[in-house]
């Protein structure tokens, strides 16, 4: 009888530990609340104002430099609570990226950005993020990797580079580490446009997103070796707007 009680107690303890591991921590920042998925988060004073500090949690979601496709662009983000039906509209945020010191991954480029149309069970989402370290590189080839689109789980960055023409889902943007960047994404149907620092014209266009989930949540993204600071997140939902007819192709000179 005593052994049976001990076994039951051990089972209960194990269940409590398991449920704790799967539970997502919530963090309030001003009037917004965020659910932390495989990231650590805190509200800190940074450059004289309160900001949300986010870093990837390598204990809950390990990273392997020899298995990039399997261990990056994963479920590591801070999800905005209260919005689960974003389909079309505008997402805007101010963000600041720096590399951890020491860095657990020397090639890290300050990966920071947004997830959107996140499925309720985390099974799928779309993303556009930045690599600020190469935004002002002296090589155009490096600059062309400053912006990345991907669609989880089937179209992460390595798959897109291997299977699509160069530049299909990557591009350049005037960004850098250790400076505030205003990133605005306008989502409409299968397309998404990214604007940087209130510029009139977009820096990057996704002609055709690849995900199957058409509406869902919104989240703040950081990846390996990145410290991300965020503020002023805005989400505006809009109805789908039919695109204008493409202009007829003009002959070049």
pLDDT tens string 161-215: 999 999 999 999 999 999 999 999 999 999 999 999 989 999 999 999 999 999 9
- Segment 130-157 mean pLDDT: 97
Residue spans per domain, the chain: 25-237
Whole-number percent of the chain with pLDDT over 90 = 86
Instruction: Report the pLDDT value the prediction gives residue 14, as an integer from 0 to 100.
Output: 41
What span, in angstroms and rounded, lies between the C-alpha atoms of 187 and 189?
A: 7
- Segment 93-99 mean pLDDT: 98
Residue 23 has pLDDT above 90, yes or no: no
- Segment 32-41 mean pLDDT: 98
Residue 231 has pLDDT above 90, yes or no: yes
Instruction: Report the pLDDT value the prediction gives residue 247, as an integer from 0 to 100.
Output: 57
Model confidence at 55, pLDDT cuts 50, 70, 90, reads very high
This model's pTM is above 0.85: yes
Q: Is 194 in contact with 185 (CB distance < 8 Å)?
A: yes
Residue 11 has pLDDT above 90, yes or no: no
- Segment 89-97 mean pLDDT: 98
Model confidence at 244, pLDDT cuts 50, 70, 90, reads confident
Residue 142 has pLDDT above 70, yes or no: yes
Q: Which CATH class is domain 25-237?
A: mainly beta
Spatial neighbors of 208 by CB under 8 A, at least 6 apart, are 190, 191
Instruction: Report the pLDDT value the prediction gives residue 19, as an integer from 0 to 100.
Output: 35
Whole-number percent of the chain with pLDDT over 70 = 87
Instruction: Report the pLDDT value the prediction gives residue 246, as an integer from 0 to 100.
Output: 63
13: Cα separation from own chain's centroid: 35
Token pair of 190, please?
């299968």
Model confidence at 65, pLDDT cuts 50, 70, 90, reads very high
Mean pLDDT, all residues of the chain: 90
The 8-class DSSP code of residue 133 comes to G
Q: Is 90 in contact with 185 (CB distance < 8 Å)?
A: yes
What span, in angstroms and rounded, lies between the C-alpha atoms of 168 and 155?
A: 12
Spatial strand order of the sheet with 25-29 comes to 25-29, 32-37, 77-80, 217-222, 112-118, 125-130, 147-152, 170-171
Residue 12 has pLDDT above 50, yes or no: no
Look-up: residue for tokens 């801070």?
78
- Segment 30-44 mean pLDDT: 98
Model confidence at 131, pLDDT cuts 50, 70, 90, reads very high
- Segment 97-110 mean pLDDT: 97
- Segment 223-249 mean pLDDT: 89
| CA within 13 Å, CB half, 57 | 17
Which residues are paired to 29 by β-bridges? 32
Residue 107 has pLDDT above 60, yes or no: yes
Q: Is 32 in contact with 217 (CB distance < 8 Å)?
A: no
What span, in angstroms and rounded, lies between the C-alpha atoms of 193 and 202?
A: 6
- Segment 65-80 mean pLDDT: 96
Q: Is 223 in contact with 111 (CB distance < 8 Å)?
A: yes
What span, in angstroms and rounded, lies between the C-alpha atoms of 69 and 158?
A: 6
């Amino acid at each position: 009888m005593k052994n049976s009680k001990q076994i039951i107690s051990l089972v209960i303890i194990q269940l409590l530990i398991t449920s704790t591991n799967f539970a997502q921590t919530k963090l309030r920042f001003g009037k917004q609340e965020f659910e932390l998925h495989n990231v650590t988060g805190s509200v800190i004073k940074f450059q004289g104002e309160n900001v949300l500090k986010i870093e990837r949690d390598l204990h809950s979601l390990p990273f392997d430099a020899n298995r990039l496709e399997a261990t990056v662009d994963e479920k590591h983000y801070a999800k905005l609570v209260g919005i689960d039906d974003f389909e079309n509209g505008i997402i805007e945020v101010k963000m600041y990226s720096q590399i951890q010191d020491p860095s657990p991954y020397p090639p890290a480029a300050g990966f920071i950005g947004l997830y959107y149309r996140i499925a309720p069970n985390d099974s799928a989402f779309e993303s556009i993020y930045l690599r600020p370290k190469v935004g002002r590189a002296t090589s155009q080839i490096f600059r062309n990797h400053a912006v990345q689109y991907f669609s989880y789980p089937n179209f992460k960055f390595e798959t897109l580079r291997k299977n699509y023409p160069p530049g299909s889902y990557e591009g350049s943007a005037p960004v850098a580490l250790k400076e505030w960047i205003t990133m605005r994404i306008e989502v409409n149907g299968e397309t998404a446009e990214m604007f940087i620092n209130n510029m009139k014209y977009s820096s990057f266009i996704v002609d055709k997103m690849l995900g199957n989930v058409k509406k869902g949540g919104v989240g703040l993204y950081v990846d390996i070796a990145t410290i991300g600071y965020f503020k002023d997140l805005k989400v505006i939902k809009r109805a789908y707007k039919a695109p204008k007819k493409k202009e007829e192709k003009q002959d070049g000179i």
